Chains A and B, each alone.
Chain A
Amino acid sequence: MSVEVMNRYDATVRLRARLGDEDAVIGGIGNTNFDLWAAGPRNLNFYMLGSMGLAVPIALGVALAQPERRVIALEGDGSILMQLGCLSTLAKLAPGNLGTVIMDNGCYQITGSQPTGTAFGTDIEAVANACGLEHSATVATETALDAALDRFWQIAAPWVIVVKIDGEPPRGTTERDPLRIRMRFMDALNLA
Chain B
Amino acid sequence: MEVLEKVEEGVSASSWAEIMRDCFKRNGVKLVTYVPDRVLTPLIQAIEADPYFQAFSTAREEEAVGIVCGAWMAGTKGVVLMQTSGFATLPNVLASLPCTYQIPVLMVISERGTLGEFNRGQALVCKTMRPILASMGMEGHTLASTRELDFIVDRTIKQVFGTLDSAALIISPLLSSGKF
Q: Say whether A64 contacts B31, CB under 8 Å.
A: yes
The answer to whether A61 and B66 have CB atoms under 8 Å apart is yes
Given A51-B92, A66-B75, decide whether A26 and B70 contact each other with a Cβ distance below 8 A: yes
A89→B31 contact, CB < 8 A:
no
Q: Give the Cβ gap from B125 to chain A, nearest Cβ, in Å.
A: 20
B101 touches A86 (CB 8 A): no
Q: Which residues of B contact A65 (CB under 8 A)?
A: 31, 70-72, 74-76
Binding site for B on A (CB under 8 A): 26, 46, 48-54, 56-66, 69, 83, 85-86, 88-89, 92-93, 178-179, 181-182, 185-186, 189-190
Known: A182-B101, A182-B103. 17 other contacts (CB 8 A): A50-B96, A51-B92, A54-B62, A54-B97, A57-B62, A60-B66, A60-B70, A61-B66, A61-B67, A61-B71, A62-B71, A64-B54, A64-B71, A65-B72, A89-B58, A181-B101, A182-B102
Chain B interface residues (CB < 8 Å from chain A): 31, 54, 56, 58-60, 62-76, 78, 92-93, 95-97, 100-103
14 A–B contacts, CB within 8 A, in A order: A50-B97, A50-B100, A54-B66, A54-B93, A58-B66, A58-B70, A61-B31, A61-B72, A61-B78, A64-B71, A65-B74, A83-B63, A189-B74, A189-B75
